[in-house]
Amino acid sequence: MTGMESANLKLVRAEEHILAIRDINEDYTEREPNVIIKHPDGSNELKFIESPPDAISVLAGECIYQIRSALDHLAFQLVKLNRGGGALPRDWEEKCAFPLRVKLPKKAPVFNCFDGTLPGITVQAFTFIESVQPYNRGEVNAYLGRLAILSNIDKHRHLHVTKPQAHRRDEATVRYKGMVMNTSSVMRVEDGTTTKQDYDFPDTEVLSVQVSGAFHPFVSFDEPTVDPGVLAFPVADLLQTCLDRVQQFVIPKFTEFLK
Protein backbone atom coordinates (compact mmCIF):
# COMPACT_ATOMS: atom_id res chain seq x y z
CA MET A 1 0.00 0.00 0.00
CA THR A 2 1.35 3.42 -0.93
CA GLY A 3 1.55 6.40 1.37
CA MET A 4 -1.16 8.15 -0.62
CA GLU A 5 -3.49 5.17 -0.25
CA SER A 6 -2.97 4.90 3.50
CA ALA A 7 -3.30 8.67 3.93
CA ASN A 8 -6.63 8.65 2.12
CA LEU A 9 -7.87 5.76 4.26
CA LYS A 10 -6.98 7.74 7.36
CA LEU A 11 -8.83 10.80 6.07
CA VAL A 12 -11.90 8.65 5.42
CA ARG A 13 -11.68 7.45 9.01
CA ALA A 14 -11.40 11.06 10.20
CA GLU A 15 -14.62 11.86 8.33
CA GLU A 16 -16.35 8.99 10.12
CA HIS A 17 -15.26 10.42 13.48
CA ILE A 18 -16.65 13.83 12.51
CA LEU A 19 -20.01 12.30 11.62
CA ALA A 20 -20.04 10.50 14.98
CA ILE A 21 -19.32 13.79 16.77
CA ARG A 22 -22.21 15.43 14.92
CA ASP A 23 -24.56 12.65 16.03
CA ILE A 24 -23.49 12.98 19.68
CA ASN A 25 -23.76 16.75 19.51
CA GLU A 26 -27.26 16.49 18.05
CA ASP A 27 -28.35 14.14 20.84
CA TYR A 28 -26.86 16.55 23.38
CA THR A 29 -28.62 19.63 22.04
CA GLU A 30 -31.93 17.79 21.63
CA ARG A 31 -31.87 17.12 25.38
CA GLU A 32 -32.05 20.90 25.81
CA PRO A 33 -28.91 21.23 27.97
CA ASN A 34 -29.57 24.92 28.57
CA VAL A 35 -32.23 27.00 30.27
CA ILE A 36 -33.13 30.64 29.72
CA ILE A 37 -33.57 32.78 32.83
CA LYS A 38 -35.78 35.80 32.18
CA HIS A 39 -34.96 38.89 34.24
CA PRO A 40 -37.38 41.71 35.17
CA ASP A 41 -35.55 44.19 32.92
CA GLY A 42 -36.42 42.08 29.87
CA SER A 43 -32.99 40.51 29.49
CA ASN A 44 -32.39 36.78 29.11
CA GLU A 45 -29.59 34.84 30.76
CA LEU A 46 -28.23 31.64 29.20
CA LYS A 47 -27.42 28.86 31.67
CA PHE A 48 -26.22 25.36 30.80
CA ILE A 49 -27.39 22.60 33.13
CA GLU A 50 -25.58 19.74 31.37
CA SER A 51 -21.94 19.50 30.29
CA PRO A 52 -20.96 18.22 26.83
CA PRO A 53 -20.46 14.43 26.60
CA ASP A 54 -16.86 13.24 27.14
CA ALA A 55 -17.21 11.14 24.00
CA ILE A 56 -16.84 14.31 21.92
CA SER A 57 -13.37 14.90 23.37
CA VAL A 58 -12.31 11.30 22.74
CA LEU A 59 -13.57 11.26 19.15
CA ALA A 60 -12.05 14.68 18.46
CA GLY A 61 -8.64 13.37 19.52
CA GLU A 62 -8.99 10.30 17.32
CA CYS A 63 -10.06 12.44 14.36
CA ILE A 64 -7.13 14.82 14.82
CA TYR A 65 -4.74 11.87 15.07
CA GLN A 66 -5.95 10.44 11.76
CA ILE A 67 -5.54 13.75 9.91
CA ARG A 68 -2.11 14.42 11.42
CA SER A 69 -0.98 10.86 10.76
CA ALA A 70 -2.14 11.08 7.14
CA LEU A 71 0.26 13.98 6.61
CA ASP A 72 3.11 11.91 8.06
CA HIS A 73 2.32 9.01 5.73
CA LEU A 74 2.56 11.37 2.77
CA ALA A 75 5.89 12.69 4.04
CA PHE A 76 7.24 9.17 4.53
CA GLN A 77 6.35 8.16 0.97
CA LEU A 78 7.90 11.38 -0.34
CA VAL A 79 11.24 10.74 1.37
CA LYS A 80 11.17 7.05 0.47
CA LEU A 81 11.02 7.97 -3.23
CA ASN A 82 14.20 10.04 -2.73
CA ARG A 83 13.65 12.29 -5.75
CA GLY A 84 16.71 14.29 -4.70
CA GLY A 85 18.90 11.35 -5.62
CA GLY A 86 21.36 11.53 -2.71
CA ALA A 87 22.03 8.98 0.01
CA LEU A 88 19.40 9.02 2.75
CA PRO A 89 20.48 8.95 6.40
CA ARG A 90 20.37 5.51 8.02
CA ASP A 91 17.82 6.59 10.61
CA TRP A 92 15.57 8.59 8.27
CA GLU A 93 12.57 6.32 8.87
CA GLU A 94 12.61 7.09 12.61
CA LYS A 95 12.75 10.86 12.15
CA CYS A 96 10.57 11.29 9.07
CA ALA A 97 7.49 13.46 9.63
CA PHE A 98 5.45 16.19 7.98
CA PRO A 99 6.59 19.41 9.70
CA LEU A 100 3.93 21.69 11.15
CA ARG A 101 5.83 24.54 12.77
CA VAL A 102 3.73 27.07 14.58
CA LYS A 103 6.46 29.47 15.74
CA LEU A 104 8.03 31.82 13.22
CA PRO A 105 11.68 30.76 12.71
CA LYS A 106 14.40 33.21 13.72
CA LYS A 107 16.08 32.79 10.34
CA ALA A 108 14.36 32.89 6.96
CA PRO A 109 13.62 29.34 5.75
CA VAL A 110 16.02 28.06 3.09
CA PHE A 111 16.21 24.78 1.18
CA ASN A 112 16.26 22.33 2.90
CA CYS A 113 15.70 23.49 6.48
CA PHE A 114 13.47 20.41 6.94
CA ASP A 115 16.38 18.08 6.14
CA GLY A 116 16.22 16.52 9.62
CA THR A 117 12.76 15.10 8.95
CA LEU A 118 12.47 15.35 5.16
CA PRO A 119 15.85 14.48 3.64
CA GLY A 120 16.20 14.09 -0.10
CA ILE A 121 13.07 15.99 -1.16
CA THR A 122 12.97 18.19 -4.24
CA VAL A 123 12.94 21.97 -4.27
CA GLN A 124 9.36 21.89 -5.54
CA ALA A 125 8.19 19.71 -2.65
CA PHE A 126 10.10 21.81 -0.12
CA THR A 127 8.63 25.03 -1.49
CA PHE A 128 5.09 23.74 -1.10
CA ILE A 129 5.59 22.24 2.36
CA GLU A 130 7.24 25.44 3.59
CA SER A 131 4.40 27.53 2.13
CA VAL A 132 1.75 25.73 4.21
CA GLN A 133 3.63 25.97 7.51
CA PRO A 134 1.45 27.45 10.27
CA TYR A 135 3.94 30.27 10.90
CA ASN A 136 3.00 31.70 7.49
CA ARG A 137 -0.21 33.67 6.99
CA GLY A 138 -3.15 32.18 5.15
CA GLU A 139 -6.31 30.19 5.72
CA VAL A 140 -4.69 26.81 5.06
CA ASN A 141 -1.79 27.73 7.35
CA ALA A 142 -4.18 28.75 10.13
CA TYR A 143 -6.06 25.46 10.06
CA LEU A 144 -2.89 23.37 9.88
CA GLY A 145 -1.66 25.34 12.89
CA ARG A 146 -4.85 24.54 14.80
CA LEU A 147 -4.43 20.91 13.81
CA ALA A 148 -0.85 20.88 15.10
CA ILE A 149 -1.69 22.45 18.47
CA LEU A 150 -4.77 20.30 19.03
CA SER A 151 -2.76 17.21 18.10
CA ASN A 152 -0.05 17.97 20.65
CA ILE A 153 -2.62 18.58 23.40
CA ASP A 154 -4.37 15.25 22.87
CA LYS A 155 -1.16 13.28 22.31
CA HIS A 156 0.94 14.64 25.17
CA ARG A 157 -1.31 16.33 27.75
CA HIS A 158 -4.97 15.50 28.19
CA LEU A 159 -8.30 14.97 26.50
CA HIS A 160 -9.53 18.09 24.80
CA VAL A 161 -11.52 20.45 26.97
CA THR A 162 -14.87 21.42 25.46
CA LYS A 163 -17.48 23.97 26.45
CA PRO A 164 -21.13 24.55 25.62
CA GLN A 165 -22.06 27.74 23.83
CA ALA A 166 -24.97 29.00 21.78
CA HIS A 167 -25.74 31.20 18.84
CA ARG A 168 -28.55 33.60 19.65
CA ARG A 169 -30.62 34.67 16.66
CA ASP A 170 -32.98 37.62 17.05
CA GLU A 171 -35.49 38.70 14.43
CA ALA A 172 -37.90 41.63 14.38
CA THR A 173 -40.64 42.71 11.98
CA VAL A 174 -41.67 46.35 12.36
CA ARG A 175 -44.68 47.77 10.55
CA TYR A 176 -44.96 51.47 9.84
CA LYS A 177 -47.42 53.41 7.71
CA GLY A 178 -46.63 52.21 4.23
CA MET A 179 -43.47 50.35 5.21
CA VAL A 180 -42.33 47.05 6.77
CA MET A 181 -38.80 46.58 8.11
CA ASN A 182 -37.25 43.18 8.92
CA THR A 183 -34.09 42.96 10.97
CA SER A 184 -32.08 40.04 12.27
CA SER A 185 -28.88 39.50 14.20
CA VAL A 186 -26.79 36.54 15.33
CA MET A 187 -24.36 36.57 18.23
CA ARG A 188 -22.32 33.94 20.03
CA VAL A 189 -23.06 33.66 23.75
CA GLU A 190 -21.54 31.60 26.54
CA ASP A 191 -22.81 30.14 29.78
CA GLY A 192 -23.98 32.97 32.04
CA THR A 193 -24.24 35.56 29.26
CA THR A 194 -27.11 38.03 29.62
CA THR A 195 -28.62 39.47 26.46
CA LYS A 196 -31.42 41.90 25.72
CA GLN A 197 -33.25 42.66 22.51
CA ASP A 198 -32.70 46.30 21.67
CA TYR A 199 -33.77 47.76 18.35
CA ASP A 200 -33.42 51.33 17.11
CA PHE A 201 -36.47 52.11 15.02
CA PRO A 202 -36.66 55.04 12.61
CA ASP A 203 -38.35 58.15 13.93
CA THR A 204 -41.66 57.21 12.32
CA GLU A 205 -44.98 56.11 13.70
CA VAL A 206 -44.73 52.39 14.51
CA LEU A 207 -47.92 50.41 13.98
CA SER A 208 -46.73 47.04 15.31
CA VAL A 209 -43.59 45.16 16.35
CA GLN A 210 -43.10 41.39 16.26
CA VAL A 211 -39.93 40.18 17.96
CA SER A 212 -38.60 36.63 18.28
CA GLY A 213 -35.36 35.19 19.58
CA ALA A 214 -33.89 31.74 19.99
CA PHE A 215 -30.74 30.12 21.37
CA HIS A 216 -29.08 27.34 19.36
CA PRO A 217 -26.55 25.46 21.54
CA PHE A 218 -23.36 23.86 20.26
CA VAL A 219 -20.11 22.42 21.65
CA SER A 220 -16.74 24.05 20.96
CA PHE A 221 -13.15 23.46 22.01
CA ASP A 222 -12.01 25.35 25.11
CA GLU A 223 -8.24 25.24 24.79
CA PRO A 224 -6.38 28.39 25.91
CA THR A 225 -3.31 27.60 23.78
CA VAL A 226 -5.32 27.63 20.55
CA ASP A 227 -6.23 30.96 18.96
CA PRO A 228 -9.54 32.43 20.17
CA GLY A 229 -11.09 31.94 16.74
CA VAL A 230 -11.71 28.25 17.46
CA LEU A 231 -14.39 29.18 20.01
CA ALA A 232 -16.62 30.38 17.21
CA PHE A 233 -16.73 26.90 15.66
CA PRO A 234 -18.59 23.80 16.77
CA VAL A 235 -16.06 20.99 17.26
CA ALA A 236 -17.25 19.04 14.22
CA ASP A 237 -17.18 22.11 11.96
CA LEU A 238 -13.62 23.01 12.95
CA LEU A 239 -12.39 19.46 12.39
CA GLN A 240 -14.25 19.27 9.08
CA THR A 241 -12.51 22.43 7.87
CA CYS A 242 -9.09 21.05 8.90
CA LEU A 243 -9.89 17.86 6.99
CA ASP A 244 -11.15 19.79 3.96
CA ARG A 245 -7.98 21.89 3.76
CA VAL A 246 -5.80 18.77 3.76
CA GLN A 247 -7.93 17.06 1.12
CA GLN A 248 -8.26 20.14 -1.08
CA PHE A 249 -4.76 21.63 -0.86
CA VAL A 250 -2.26 19.04 0.41
CA ILE A 251 -3.49 15.85 -1.26
CA PRO A 252 -3.51 17.26 -4.84
CA LYS A 253 0.05 18.56 -4.47
CA PHE A 254 1.35 15.30 -3.08
CA THR A 255 -0.42 13.44 -5.87
CA GLU A 256 1.98 15.29 -8.18
CA PHE A 257 5.04 14.80 -5.98
CA LEU A 258 4.47 11.06 -5.55
CA LYS A 259 3.98 10.20 -9.23
Which is nearest to 60 in space by CA: 145, 150, 141? 150
3 state SS for 7-61 = HHHHHHHHHHHHHHHHHHHHHHHHCCCEEEEECCCCCEEEEECCCCCHHHHHHHH
Is the residue at 173 inside a domain?
A: no
Mean pLDDT, to the nearest integer, of 207-236?
Answer: 84
Is the residue at 182 inside a domain?
A: no
Is the residue at 193 inside a domain?
A: no
pTM greater than the 0.85 cutoff: yes
Q: Which domain holds residue 74?
A: 3-162+226-257
Is the residue at 108 inside a domain?
A: yes
Q: How many CB atoms lie within 10 A of CB 6?
A: 17
pLDDT tens figures, 117-164: 999 999 999 999 999 999 999 999 999 999 999 999 999 999 999 999
pLDDT value of residue 202: 58
Is the residue at 105 inside a domain?
A: yes
pLDDT value of residue 62: 98
Say whether pLDDT at 5 is over 70. yes
Is the residue at 188 inside a domain?
A: no
Is the residue at 205 inside a domain?
A: no
Q: In degrees rounded to 5, what are phi and psi of residue 246? A: -65, -45
Would you call 144 exposed, middle or buried from its count of C-beta atoms within 10 A (0-12, 13-18, 19+)? buried
Query: Number of structural domains, the chain?
Result: 1
pLDDT value of residue 189: 86
- The rounded distance, in Å, linking the Cα atoms of 33 and 163 is 12
- The rounded distance, in Å, linking the Cα atoms of 187 and 168 is 5
Q: How confident is residue 220, by pLDDT bands cut at 50, 70 and 90?
A: very high
pLDDT tens figures, 172-192: 777 777 677 776 777 888 898
Say whether pLDDT at 80 is over 60. yes
Is the residue at 200 inside a domain?
A: no
Please tell me which residue, 79 or 213, carries the higher pLDDT value. 79
